[in-house]
Structure 1
Amino acid sequence: MKRKIAIIGLGEIGKKHLSELRRSDYFELVAICDKNEAEEFGRFEFFTDIDVMFNTLKPEAVVIATPPKTHKEIILKCMKYIKNIFVESPLADNLDQAREIRYAASTNALKIAVGYRDRFNPTVISLVREFAKEEKIYSMNIIRACKSYDELDLVDDILIKDLDLVRFLTKSEVSSFDMKKICFGNKKNLSIAHSNLKTKNDILVNISSNAFYPQNRNFIEICATSGIYLADLVAFTLHKVTESGRINLKVDSEDFSIRYEHKNFANVCNDEDFGELASVEDAVKLREILK
């Protein structure tokens, strides 16, 4: 039987969750909650108050897709009603908040999944499959870039996603981390950051985070025993360069990452493991890298 689920936050990411949950194989969407009034949503009731939503429709799980600075307050409010929470990344605004959420989760038996959607990117799925065949990964070079906008936080919107990908792909913790950053013009927000890190299983990683590109760019070059992998997470392509030449590796052309997140979250709600989803502990470790 499908569990009843609600969405809190109807921004760009919240609308993507809505699009999937309208026809979900895993959940029955019963409510949408946002601080702003919105149009009718057919069979889904709309609320502006979280407590009223829970008391009225009693959802069993929730997707939180509000800004990170609101996550702690909303999680603490939701835990009075439910134990199953999916929250978009980053988990919180800072390390202290992330640790507070971890404590609340452990003392109240909450199951909180954190949405790092790149784990389910079609190119990453193919890359994980190839890595399983590799004897050794030596290094990674990551470029993630976008066109700057006023609300952009280079660390929370860009860098922290790549740190999660590094831990996910290498299956290792980070042993050392260094970041150089710069702001240009009168911009208050960070504009460019270059990070160097080393994992505990001796993989060297360089990350370039840039807010001056005219369009989104997300590219990873990996040096491994059998060759060089060239992964494009925007175009959904993966190539491997060896002494024999360049090979095109199979990657799904459609992005079902949110659907896969919902599938894994449904398993969490049914007391199964987190699968490929990030946990609160993962989110805390990412903040600890950056501290």
Structure 2
Amino acid sequence: MTKIRTCLFGLGHMGKNHLRVLQEDSRYELVAVIDPVTDSLPATAQAVPLYKHLPDDLAFELAVVAAPTELHYSLVTGLLQRNHHVFVEKPAASTQSQAEELVALAQSKNLKLAVGNIERCNPVVGALRKVIGSGILGRLVHLNGLRAGGFPRNVKPGNNVILDLGVHELDLFRMILGPLDIVHGIGHSTQMSSIYDAAEISVRSKQGVTGTVHVNWLTPQRMRSIRVTGSEGLCLVDYIQQTCEVFGNGLKSKDSIFASLPWQTDAQGLDTVQIPVVAKESLKEQLDQLHLYLSGKDHVLAIGAELIESVSLVEQAEKQVASAHVLPFHDPQSERR
């Protein structure tokens, strides 16, 4: 099998993760790493050329972009113009108009362009989609997403918790529910006056299903979960533990694809079951999905209209919070003066 010659752009936190999984995957041949500020590869990495800038004569098919968000648009544009397929870390661009331009450019040159919304590739999300698709929850009513903890090592101007964390939940809500509207947003700036580090975002689907996303950098413990409420049942998913549980009254006796699983019933008649999930690192599954996409096969990556909407939802949420619903930085010392 011919390996995909790949060049990695950016060797920050996520870039190092991409470096590791690319070098562990025999389907990809990492031919170079480009980073203008890094002088050496991690000690655990296999030897590969490291350049400050992209050499004009470097031959490769696929670019994996893990550079800072503010560089995504210009970097991806240049790579597409050089006729390279591109996989770019989330968000694909800073604005909806930029995302539209990138998608149009890729399509005009018959190139592949996808964004790394990683939770799409979490095996537990596959289990959740199977639960929803089975109809065992009844009519979907509300989704609640929680993504908390993990203050970034370096918060740059222009970054915020919606751009960093909220993008994942908003993209998953869109993946599950279809096109969404942002109906409300509120945020807090507790550490720096110009950057909000906690936010609550409300959404609504075209079918009337609602959703709430809570994200923050403040919680000491990393928490990543989604709760899906239906008219007949509830599904709880933990992204980190990769667990998927279904709860409801009378679900055990339903004729469903989960009927043969070991259901438990408590004293109050509540039925509960664990949906089987084959644990796997999401980044490695993401490479599997990328390979399917590059091979012209079915995949779960966000491309085309979904890539554009993943950027648009973040942009809309930021505007909601920034324009009218942000709770500004509060300095307790000011009350003592």
The answer, yes or no, to whether TM exceeds 0.5 is yes
Percent pairwise identity? 21
Does 1:267 pair with 2:274?
no
Assess, with a 3 A threshold, how the Cα gap between structure 1 residues 186 and 111 changes in structure 2: closer, same or farther: closer
Which residue in 1 is equivalent to 2:309?
A: 285
1:153-172, aligned counterparts within 5 Å? 153-170=160-177, 172=178
Question: Which stretch shows the higher mean deviation, 130-139 or 227-236?
Answer: 130-139
* Cα root mean square deviation, aligned: 2.1
SS in 1 for 2:196: coil
In structure 2, do the counterparts of structure 1 residues 3 and 228 end up closer, same or farther at CA, with 3 Å as the change threshold?
same
Aligned residue for 2:105?
A: 104
1:252 counterpart SS class: coil
**Residue equivalent to 2:263:** none
Q: What's 1:49 paired with?
A: 53
Q: Which residue of 1 aligns with 2:131?
A: 130
**Residue correspondence of structure 1 range 194-213 to structure 2 within 5 A:** 194-213=200-219
Match of 1:182 in 2: 188
After superposition, residues 145-156 of structure 1 pair within 5 angstroms as 145-149=148-152, 150-151=154-155, 153-156=160-163
Deviation at residue 87 of structure 1 after TM alignment: 0.4
Shift of 1:273: 4.7
* Secondary structure, aligned partner of 2:219: strand
Question: What is the TM-score when the length of structure 1 is the normalising length?
Answer: 0.90
Structure 1 portions without partners, runs of 5+: none
1:78, distance to aligned residue in structure 2 (A): 1.3
Q: Displacement, 1:226?
A: 4.0
Correspondence for 1:214: 220
1:138-166 CA-partner distances (Å, limit 9, x unpaired) = 21111111143441521111112111000
Contact 1:30–1:43 under 8 Å retained in 2: no
Distance change (3 Å), C-alpha of 1:177 and 1:26: farther
- Cα deviation for residue 39 of structure 1 reads 2.5
CA distance in 1, matches of 2:192, 2:67: 28
Larger displacement relative to structure 2 (90-99 or 1-10): 90-99
Q: Given that residues 176 and 199 in structure 1 are in contact (C-alpha distance below 8 angstroms), is that contact kept between their aligned partners in structure 2? A: no
Amino acid at match of 1:245: D
Would the aligned equivalents of 1:113 and 1:274 in 2 still touch at CA under 8 Å? no
Q: Is the 8 A contact 2:143 2:227 kept in 1?
A: yes
Distance change (3 Å), C-alpha of 1:78 and 1:185 = closer
Give the AA of the match of 1:38.
Answer: D
Query: Could you tell me how far 1:269 is from its partner in structure 2?
Result: 2.5
Q: Say which SS state the counterpart of residue 275 (structure 1) adopts.
A: coil
1:140 — aligned with what? 143
CA contact (8 A) 2:148 2:223 kept: yes
Residues 4 and 30, structure 1, Cα contact 8 Å, conserved in 2? yes
Change (3 A) 1:42 1:210: closer
Q: Helix, strand or coil: the match of 1:131?
A: helix
Contact persistence 1:123–1:237 (CA under 8 A):
yes
Match of 2:276? 250
Q: Provide the residue aligned with 2:30 in structure 1.
A: 29
SS in 2 for 1:215: coil
Question: 1:35, CA displacement in angstroms?
Answer: 0.9
- Structure ranking higher in strand proportion: 1
Closer, same or farther in 2 for the Cα pair 1:144/1:42, shift >3 Å? closer
* Displacement after TM superposition at 1:76 (Å): 2.0
Structure 2 unaligned blocks of 5 or more: 250-269, 317-337
Structure number with larger C-alpha Rg: 2
Which amino acid counterpart does residue 274 of structure 2 have in structure 1?
Answer: N
